[in-house]
């Protein structure tokens, strides 16, 4: 094996791992990718990006995620179908198995990193992986310390990552598991090679500890002009990464942020972009990263000449690329921005009912934030083969340990304090539901978004949607006016009305579980029939 040298950091005895194997500490992503190729964990494209495969699990495994129920956090967590509890003994039993398994490997890879670009709130973490490519992923995705920071780095959370270890335990739902133990400051992951589990487990950690400090953790992307900052909420596949990468606005980050007293700050040091149907014409900044060494491509089909085919979804529709944020030239140097003037809710409406852009009142903003309506995009989760309507509170319920009302209250307070305007943007279907209508063209979505952010929609004429109550502009620069009002895009108007009534009913039924915890104004901000 070739010689590589990271930053010396000792052995893993403090983490319970005793081994004679080679331990690679804090290698850069280029060295890790070379090692991954040498170890047959992947291969290089013609442009030297690393191509890897995640096997059967090409998306998150939400049914296999658990939180340890213990005294320090028991009252804070909103226990239920999303935040599923497990006990300390189960965690400890599986942790021993994971550590024993890792101790038998021929090599281990370790990264000492941070989560959070705001120094006062940055969480020091350690990621211990079985594979070099997963270590490169972690190196890409989290904040990389300086040499001086590394000298004093003391992890407060450690991720033990054993993707090829398949458990056999009666307390689990499958051989796969992702378990967070807040009291111990530990995460154990086994049975899944999908790299996104690493970053999302730490995101869940931040979503508890920061909220208790009055800082709003957000499943959103963010960008800024320096004077004008925008945040983009949305689930995977709704356009957070795509829309925040804009040549006229500096990227702050593409997925996870905090909103604190100084404004917005990125949790991460990289991006994890969906690559389905990626083209240099529609997404030039992201496409360029796929031709850089240091990028990790997951489940991408590559032709005989080593060129990726981003339109081939034979492995999964959830194809992904991980790259350091430095690969995006137009970005903020410190991964921070001011207080947002615009809050964007992105939804992928599979029914084709919601308008491509609408303006929300403060009460409507709280209602739609708590509702978190979108569609699960094909491939993002195991078993999802086509878009399905879903409601995910705060546009990220699987990662939010606390009650959605806690996050909604924080968002409302910050929007009111800083005078932010809320917009709902549908990146989904128009002219009919999925299978009949067509997906909204990205160039139109960009035009509407830019018009909103630049103030070009401040003085146009609006109409109020009779069911949902939000305001819809009747004109927008560089967008055909006929697509702005959804009902006009449907040939069968009666079918539109029936489908819209059904969607409104779905909103009402979903919100019943939150109605007692919100104000009368927010309850009244939902659709009416």
pLDDT tops 70 at residue 202: yes
* CA–CA distance, 134 with 127 (Å, rounded to integer): 9
Q: Which CATH number fits domain 273-327: 2.170.8.10, 3.90.1580.10, 2.40.10.220, 3.40.50.300?
A: 2.170.8.10
**What is the chain's mean pLDDT, rounded?**
93
Q: Where are the domains of the chain?
A: 13-41+59-213, 216-269+334-520, 273-327
Tell the CATH topology of 13-41+59-213.
Phosphoenolpyruvate Carboxykinase; domain 1 (3.40.449)
Handedness of CA 234, 237, 241, 243 (dihedral sign): negative
60 catalytic per annotation: yes
Summarize the confidence of residues 75-93 as an average pLDDT.
96
Write out pLDDT tens, residues 464-497: 999 999 999 999 999 999 999 999 999 999 999 9
Tell me which DSSP letter residue 60 carries: B
pLDDT tops 80 at residue 382: no
* CA–CA distance, 348 with 341 (Å, rounded to integer): 23
Task: Name the pLDDT band for 385 (thresholds 50, 70, 90).
Answer: low
241 catalytic per annotation: yes
pTM: 0.92
pLDDT tops 50 at residue 178: yes
Q: How far out from the chain centre does Cα 524 lie?
A: 30
Which of 329, 270, 278 shows the shortest CA–CA distance to 307? 278
255 catalytic per annotation: yes
Question: What contacts 152, CB < 8 A, 6 or more positions away?
Answer: none
Q: Which CATH number fits domain 216-269+334-520: 2.70.70.10, 3.40.50.11440, 3.90.228.20, 2.70.180.20?
A: 3.90.228.20
Cα–Cα–Cα angle for 120, 414, 462, rounded to 5 degrees: 140
Please pick, among 246, 255, 349, 465, the residue that the annotation labels catalytic: 255
DSSP string across 404-445: HHHHHHHHHHHHHHHT-EEEEEE-SEESSSTTTSEEPPHHHH
339 catalytic per annotation: no
Please pick, among 90, 221, 224, 236, the residue that the annotation labels catalytic: 236
Given this model, what pLDDT does residue 256 score? Answer: 95
139 catalytic per annotation: no
Beta strands in 53-122 (DSSP E): 65-68, 85-86, 107-115
Please pick, among 60, 65, 274, 331, the residue that the annotation labels catalytic: 60
pLDDT cut 70: percent of the chain above it = 96
Write out pLDDT tens, residues 41-78: 999 999 999 999 999 999 999 999 999 999 999 999 99
Question: What contacts 156, CB < 8 A, 6 or more positions away?
Answer: 123, 124, 125, 185
71 catalytic per annotation: no
* CA–CA distance, 416 with 406 (Å, rounded to integer): 16
Write out pLDDT tens, residues 253-294: 999 999 999 999 999 999 999 999 999 998 899 999 999 999
* CA–CA distance, 130 with 108 (Å, rounded to integer): 5
Please pick, among 65, 320, 339, 359, the residue that the annotation labels catalytic: 320
């Amino acid at each position: 094996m070739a010689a590589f040298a990271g930053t010396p950091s000792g052995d893993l005895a403090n983490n319970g791992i005793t081994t004679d194997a080679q331990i690679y500490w804090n290698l850069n992503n280029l060295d890790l990718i070379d090692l991954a190729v040498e170890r047959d964990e992947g291969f290089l494209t013609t442009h030297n990006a690393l191509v890897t495969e995640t096997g059967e699990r090409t998306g998150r495994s939400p049914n296999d995620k658990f939180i340890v129920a213990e005294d320090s956090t028991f009252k804070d967590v909103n226990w239920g179908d999303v935040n599923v509890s497990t006990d300390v003994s189960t965690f400890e039993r599986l942790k021993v198995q994971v550590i024993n398994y890792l101790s038998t490997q021929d090599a281990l890879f370790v990264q000492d990193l941070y989560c959070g670009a705001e120094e006062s709130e940055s969480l020091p973490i350690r990621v211990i992986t079985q594979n070099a490519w997963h270590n490169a992923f972690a190196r890409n995705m989290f904040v990389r310390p300086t040499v001086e920071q590394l000298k004093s780095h003391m992890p407060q959370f450690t991720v033990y990552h054993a993707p090829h270890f398949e458990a056999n335990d009666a307390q689990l739902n499958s051989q796969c598991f992702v378990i967070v133990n807040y009291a111990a400051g530990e995460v154990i992951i086994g049975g899944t090679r999908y790299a996104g589990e690493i970053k999302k487990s730490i995101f869940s950690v931040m979503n508890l500890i920061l909220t208790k400090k009055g800082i709003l953790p957000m499943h959103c992307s963010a960008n800024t002009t320096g004077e004008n900052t925008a945040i983009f909420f949305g689930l995977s596949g709704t356009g957070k990464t795509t829309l925040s990468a804009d040549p006229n606005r500096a990227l702050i980050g593409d997925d996870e942020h905090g909103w604190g007293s100084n404004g917005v700050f990125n949790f991460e040091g990289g991006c994890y972009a969906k690559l389905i149907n990626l083209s240099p014409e529609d997404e030039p900044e992201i496409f360029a990263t796929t031709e850089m060494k240091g990028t990790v491509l997951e489940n991408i089909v590559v032709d005989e000449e080593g060129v990726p085919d981003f339109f081939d979804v034979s492995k999964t529709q959830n194809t992904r690329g991980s790259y350091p944020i430095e690969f995006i030239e137009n970005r903020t140097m410190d991964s921070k921005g001011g207080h947002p003037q615009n809050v964007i809710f992105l939804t992928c409406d599979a029914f084709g009912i919601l308008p491509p852009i609408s303006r929300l009142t403060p009460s409507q903003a709280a209602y739609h934030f708590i509702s978190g309506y979108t569609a699960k995009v094909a491939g993002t989760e195991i078993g999802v083969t086509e878009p399905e309507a879903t409601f995910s509170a705060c546009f990220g319920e699987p990662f939010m340990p606390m009650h959605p009302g806690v996050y909604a209250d924080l968002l409302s307070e910050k929007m009111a304090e800083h005078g932010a305007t809320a917009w709902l943007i549908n990146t989904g279907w128009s002219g009919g539901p999925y299978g009949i209508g067509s997906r909204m063209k990205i160039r139109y979505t960009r035009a509407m978004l830019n018009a909103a952010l630049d103030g070009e929609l401040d003085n146009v004429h609006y109409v109020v949607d009779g069911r949902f109550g939000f305001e819809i502009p009747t004109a927008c620069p560089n967008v055909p006016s006929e697509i702005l009002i959804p009902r006009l895009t449907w040939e069968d108007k009666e079918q539109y009305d029936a489908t819209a009534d059904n969607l409104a009913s779905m909103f009402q039924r979903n919100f019943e579980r939150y109605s007692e915890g919100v104000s009368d104004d927010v309850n009244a901000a939902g659709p009416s029939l």
